[in-house]
């Protein structure tokens, strides 16, 4: 028996439609709510990726989660993904209003989802009076011009590589129809192996700087909870450290570990430590 209910529901602004899941406590009063963006390099991933033990932790503390899918590359450009992320943020506020949820809310993202969470938060700061109580970023990034994103990734190069023809066929298929999770991951894997990740996201080199957050923008965000592995194999941990250094009210938890996605890889150890610290931080920022 789980300690939470969940309902699938659409979010819509009348033009754009986004699939979402609302996880809510069964036995606790709903005290806080999270807008959640999944990870996946902006190319793969889905809203159902939070492990059950973490959902149970949230429910036990009266925290609900609205987990949402968003458009992915290569079918959508980086600019389109960010624009629709802003629409999701506005739809989320409509959701709170519609359900009369006058409770603190937080924006949470893992990896690429953290990058989108930053854009969602920045958008609401400039376009809404109903601001998030805080933002949660796990092994995330804000700077797309980081050298590590523009060159072949050594960790991913240890895996078998697709030939150029197979990679291109997957990209062409993605433009026509929805890919399987494995197919979408292979596009990401191949792009990281060859140092072509940013090429999948945008054909405009100027967009890498345009859609990176500046130090000044980061300073304007609500309180941040940030966690990362010290030796992240996908996203350089320096991005988490820089986020914390730039922000006047940031909590940084560095886990002495090698790897990415460490909360799901080490659920009962690093994962539980991160989520318990996260929930305690939320209790202090509401």
Which pLDDT value is given to residue 45?
Answer: 96
Does the model's pTM come out above 0.95? Answer: yes
Does the structure show a pLDDT above 90 at 143? yes
Which pLDDT value is given to residue 163?
Answer: 86
Does the structure show a pLDDT above 90 at 251? yes
**C-alpha to C-alpha distance for 282 and 159, rounded to whole angstroms:** 39
Q: Which CATH number fits domain 4-146+205-284: 2.60.120.480, 3.40.50.720, 3.40.50.1820, 3.30.70.520?
A: 3.40.50.1820
Which pLDDT value is given to residue 13?
Answer: 81
Does the structure show a pLDDT above 80 at 1? no
pLDDT digits 0-9 by tens, 183-242: 999 999 999 999 999 999 999 999 999 999 999 999 999 999 999 999 999 999 999 999
């Amino acid at each position: 028996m789980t300690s939470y209910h969940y309902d699938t529901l659409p979010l819509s602004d009348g033009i754009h439609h986004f699939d979402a899941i609302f996880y809510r406590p069964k036995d606790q009063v709903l005290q806080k709510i999270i807008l959640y963006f999944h990870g996946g390099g902006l190319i793969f991933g889905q809203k159902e990726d939070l492990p059950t033990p973490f959902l149970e932790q949230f429910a036990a503390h009266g925290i609900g989660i609205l987990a949402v899918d968003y458009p992915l590359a290569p079918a959508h450009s980086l600019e389109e993904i960010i624009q629709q992320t802003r629409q999701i943020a506005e739809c989320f506020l409509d959701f709170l209003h519609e359900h009369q949820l006058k409770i603190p809310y937080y924006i949470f993202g893992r990896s690429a989802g953290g990058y989108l969470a930053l854009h969602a938060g920045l958008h609401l700061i400039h376009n809404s009076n109903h601001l998030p109580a805080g933002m949660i970023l796990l092994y995330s990034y804000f700077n797309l011009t980081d050298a590590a994103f523009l060159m072949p990734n050594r960790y991913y190069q240890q895996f078998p590589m697709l030939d150029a023809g197979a990679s291109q066929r997957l990209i062409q298929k993605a433009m026509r129809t929805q890919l399987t999770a494995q197919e979408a991951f292979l596009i990401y894997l191949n792009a990281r192996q060859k140092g072509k990740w940013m090429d999948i996201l945008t054909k405009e080199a100027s967009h890498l700087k345009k859609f990176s957050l500046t130090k000044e923008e980061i300073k304007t965000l609500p309180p941040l909870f940030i966690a990362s592995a010290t030796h992240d194999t996908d996203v350089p941990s320096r991005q988490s450290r820089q986020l914390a250094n730039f922000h006047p009210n940031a909590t940084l938890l560095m886990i002495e570990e090698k790897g990415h996605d460490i909360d799901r890889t080490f659920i009962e150890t690093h994962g539980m430590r991160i989520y318990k610290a996260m929930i305690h931080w939320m209790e202090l920022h509401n």
